[in-house]
Amino acid sequence: MSAITRDEVVHLARLSRLALGDDELDHLAAQLDQIISAVARVQEVAAEDIPPTSHALPLTNVYRPDEVRPSLTPEQALAGAPAAEDQRFRVPRILDEEA
Amino acid sequence: MSTPTVMKFDEALAKFEPVLGIETHIELGTASKMFCGCATGFGAEPNTQVCPVCLGLPGSLPVTNHAAIEGIIKIGLALNCEIVEWCRFARKNYFYPDMPKNYQISQYDEPLCVDGHLEVEVEGETYRIEIERVHMEEDTGKSLHVGGATGRIQGALHSLVDYNRAGIPLVEIVTKPITATEDKAPLVARAYATELRELVRSLGVSDVRMEQGSMRCDVNVSLMPRGASEWGTRTETKNVNSLRSVERAVRSEIERQAAVLDAGGTIVQETRHFHEDSGTTTSGRSKEEAQDYRYFPEPDLVPMAPSRAWVEELRATLPELPAARRRRVQGEWGLSDLELRDVVNAGAVDLIEDTVKAGADAATARKWWMNELSRRATEQGVELAELAITPAQVARIQAMVDAGELNDKLARQVFEGVLAGEGAPDEVVAARGLKVVSDEGALSAIIDQVIADNAAVADKVRSGKVAAAGALVGAVMKASRGQADAGRARELILEKLGAS
């Protein structure tokens, strides 16, 4: 039994806003299945006394003082924007037309 | 879409029991953002308070603002929450242009503060609102929608985004379901938002200005048919940006849902938008996809493990909280429950207390703020605290009244002058020449002149028509521009005319 279904890959692609063709879905579903299966093997090694971790470093409580640092200029901030208007990032229509 | 019908509130309550939930977002008033050093000032030019971190540029890394964590722990403690010993940030993934990273750093299943409560009072009844969680996250950018009607996102052709607000520390406070409020549901919702605002303001961690968006409420409402045991489907109304709107949004949603359910329809779990103008809600999204935020622990930030010592240190810094303070001032000022409620609703507790601290007695301080100044605030359409007068100035004016230099009528002219920007009370008194004429010589001279100018009236008084003296007193007041002591003027007039 595969670790991830093709339908789940379709769902993930939509969430990630990736337009994938049927060929790509078949190809990626197989690859993702292999990756997940490989990671699953690590779980077999993990014993009861090893808690799940989200971070490679055994650190907690890393904070910075509440001090203002210089920001970018608006020109710098907008330099990489595909479109700008009135010193703001211009983005395409957010809501689709009513069906 | 057909026009949504509503059921009368009382009828809706007879058939259904409302269940509420309130999610409140509060921007903390830190100098810098949650995960970077950009400034947080409101109203700056667009995209002038942004950097690689809050713009989500590749290679940038967030670092948590210590003051923000202090702020949320204070809020948690003030809400009687448990501060957990260990928790993490989480990524909330979504595609929407208000977050340039395509995710918001938030907390998911490990909030920093849990299981609190806040007591609120409505018409003499106390309601204990249970707090599910208080968690830390970052605010989003602000969008301007172009090409649609009145800036609405619906029908817009494109949008313009300003990321100054993106990354400002945001605390989200989530209640547990609020039940058994019955017909008081809208008032309880409003009282909760009011009390929460007062509480956070007293902590000094946010300016909690709903009109500027530093406090925002999302109101969840569901209805359960009388006699049923399962809650109904809830809707979440966003964009509720005043205390009054919180009350109206709950009422409006109860009336709308009741009509839908009564007609055999079903409530769709959806986001709805509140409209200030009509006081009603409309469906927020036309085709709601099931949200799938794919939360996972934020790999760029290490876990938080606030030490018990730090938490206790912060607990020790908490000020007197609003509820305790109200009980104290009620005793100190000798107010009835009703009087206290009026003072609280007018937002006058701080003002009166500061006026008392500046030397006035509580009764007169309350009189000025609750009568004269409340009237002027209403005229100007502003909050009492926004009037251009300080508690110290009110105390100074009252001191002049106490010293006999002003009477109440003149004092009102001084208030007018101070509010009009003519300067401090003493400057207004000097510039306007306001002084009670207590000098008997000056008053006597004015009276002699008035008697000479009004010989016919004076003769009537001499012949025994004492009532006619009123006209002379009026003339004296006019001649003294209101500064004479009217009672004393009357005594002197009658004395001089041999009618006393």
Inform me whether the C-beta atom of residue B95 falls under 8 Å from chain A C-beta atoms.
Answer: yes
- B281/B6 Cα distance (integer angstroms): 11
Q: Which of B258, B118, B241 is nearest to B188 (CA)?
A: B118
What confidence score (pLDDT) does residue B179 get?
A: 94
CA atoms within 13 A on the CB side of B488: 14
Report chain B (500 residues): mean pLDDT per 10 consecutive residues: 76 96 98 98 96 96 98 98 97 91 95 98 93 98 85 82 97 97 96 95 94 93 93 90 94 95 91 88 64 89 97 97 93 92 89 95 95 93 91 95 86 94 92 77 86 90 87 88 82 83
Residue of chain A with shortest Cα separation from B155: A97
CA distances from B361 to B333, B364, B407, B436 (A): 9, 6, 16, 21
**B55 and chain A in contact, CB less than 8 A:** yes
B88 three-class SS = coil
Are B241 and B209 a contacting pair, CB within 8 Å? no
3-state secondary structure of B246: helix
B314 touching chain A per CB within 8 A: no
**CATH superfamily of domain region A1-44:** Glu-tRNAGln amidotransferase C subunit, N-terminal domain (1.10.20.60)
Nearest to A91 among B30, B97, B302 (CB): B97
C-beta of residue B220 within 8 angstroms of C-beta of residue B20: yes
Between chains, do A91 and B303 touch, taking CB under 8 Å as contact? no
Chain A neighbors of B154, CB-CB under 8 A? 95
Query: Comparing C-alpha atoms, which of B314, B417, B330 is closest to residue B366?
Result: B330
Q: Is the dihedral of CA B427, B428, B430, B435 positive or negative?
A: negative
Query: Which secondary structure element, helix H or strand E, spans residue B249, and what is its range?
Result: helix B243-262
Largest CA distance in chain B: 101
Residue B27's DSSP bridge partners are B170
- The pLDDT assigned to A99 comes to 33
Helix axes B66-78, B308-317, angle to 10 degrees: 70
The answer to whether B42 touches B101, Cβ cutoff 8 Å, is no
Closest CA to B64 of B395, B305, B320: B305
Contact between A70 and B37 using a beta-carbon 8 Å cutoff: yes
The answer to whether the Cβ–Cβ distance between A87 and B47 falls below 8 Å is yes
Q: Give the model's pLDDT for residue B286.
A: 44
d(CA B500, CA B497): 8
Concatenated DSSP letters for B415-464? HHHHHTT--SHHHHHHHHT---B--HHHHHHHHHHHHHHTHHHHHHHHTT
Q: Which of B76, B82, B216 is nearest to B135 (CA)?
A: B76
Q: What ipTM is given for this predicted complex?
A: 0.84
Q: What are phi and psi of B369, to 5 degrees?
A: -70, -40
A-chain residues within 8 Å CB-CB of B299?
54-55
For an interface test with A, the pick among B47, B101, B168, B296 (most A C-beta atoms closer than 10 Å) comes out as B47
B429: closest CA among B368, B483, B355?
A: B483
CA distances from B181 to B178, B222, B250, B261, B279 (A): 7, 13, 12, 20, 21
Domain borders along chain A are 1-44
Query: Do the Cβ atoms of B55 and A57 come within 8 Å?
Result: no
Q: Coil, strand, or helix at residue B377?
A: helix
Domains of chain B, each with CATH number or no CATH: 9-310 (no CATH), 320-432 (no CATH), 440-496 (1.10.10)
B149 CB burial (10 A radius; 0-12, 13-18, 19+): exposed
> Which residues on chain A are in Cβ contact (under 8 Å) with B169?
none
Smallest CA–CA distance, residue A75 to chain B, in Å, is 9
Pairs of CB atoms within 8 A across A/B: 138
**Could you tell me which of B39, B62, B116 has the C-alpha nearest to residue B84?**
B116
Q: Minimal CA–CA distance to B445: which of B484, B471, B500, B474? A: B484
Q: Does B86 touch chain A (CB under 8 A)?
A: yes
CB contacts of B96 in chain A (<8 Å) are 94
pLDDT for the residue B398: 94
Which chain A residue shows the shortest CA-CA distance from B148?
A93
Residue A41, pLDDT > 80, answer: yes
Which pLDDT score is estimated for B1? 45
Considering only the beta carbons, identify the residue of B31, B38, B153 that sits closest to A95: B153
Write the CB contacts of B19 (distance below 8 Å, at least 6 apart in sequence): B177, B178, B179, B221, B222, B223, B224, B231, B232, B234
| Pair B121, B93: CB distance under 8 Å | no
* Residue A69 to residue B302, Cβ atoms within 8 A: no
